[in-house]
Amino acid sequence: MALLLASSAVCCGARADVVVSRYAVTLAGIPTGEVILQAKFTAKQYEVAVSADVGTILDSTKIKGAASGSRAGVKLTPERFQLAFSGGEEGTIDVNFKGSGGTDATINPRLRGVFDPLSALLLTSLKPLAPAGNPCNHVLPIFTGRARFDLNLHPKAAGQAQRRSATVICEADYAATPGQPPEKLDWEIAFTKVPKPHFWLLEHIALPTAKGTISIDRAETSISGS
């Protein structure tokens, strides 16, 4: 039902591809909530929205976020990123990549060439389906609204099994400052390719923590056009 409602919210206009996925979240194997991720993109524009409700009865967090920008092929240029937290952590983030003047010339220098997290995810998902376009061969300069870092995705070491032939599994390195030697993160990120639209679906994320591994796994996806 959540996927149907999200898909039906797409407005009329230029043809848009819409990909809506629901993810189950677990901590140490125990269900703790879900995430809904929606990407809508035309040949010239894109929008990404996320909503999450995770945690326990006594300690839960709700997250709502959105990103938008322009598109030219696989090139994305972020324009706005907003994120709001409630529950366990309260706060909001609002990043205007075009600056107060609304033009590229007014972009804050530290925002040039970087992506908010949602735009970075869509950029990875739009990588070509050819082997050279593998989403695990990718460096993502990211600005969260609070921190700037480079996330370097690379294929998991040979010999470690893939989930299925259409899925690739990435590992990640993190550099807090451009040019700084990267630190290896004990993350696992998997993508599954679909032919229409040419898109890599985020399939799985595993993030070890002191309380156990947080796993985010795709439960269902709706793909449509308008």
pLDDT of residue 3: 44
Contacts of residue 139, Cβ cutoff 8 Å, sequence gap at least 6: 150, 151, 152, 153
What's the pLDDT score for residue 49?
98
Contacts of 135 (CB under 8 A, 6+ apart): 124, 125, 127, 153, 168, 170, 191, 200
pLDDT at residue number 87: 77
Residue 188 neighbours by CB under 8 Å, 6+ apart? 156, 169, 170, 171, 204, 205, 206
Give alpha helix (H) positions in 1-146. 2-8, 117-125
Q: Integer distance in angstroms from the first to the last C-alpha of the chain?
A: 19
pLDDT tens for the chain, 226 residues: list them.
444 344 444 444 568 999 999 999 999 999 999 999 999 999 999 999 999 999 876 678 899 999 999 999 889 999 999 999 987 677 899 999 886 655 554 556 778 889 999 999 999 999 886 656 678 988 899 999 988 999 999 988 765 545 455 789 999 999 987 777 889 999 999 999 988 778 999 999 999 999 899 999 999 999 997 5
- Give every strand in the sheet of 91-96, ordered side by side: 91-96, 75-87, 60-72, 45-55, 30-41, 17-27, 212-225, 199-209, 183-194, 167-175, 148-155, 138-143
Q: What is the DSSP string of 16-50?
A: -EEEEEEEEEEETTEEEEEEEEEEEE-SSEEEEEE
pTM score of the predicted model: 0.85
Q: Exposed, middle or buried: residue 22 (CB in 10 Å: 0-12, 13-18, 19+)?
A: middle
Domain boundaries along the sequence of the chain: 2-225
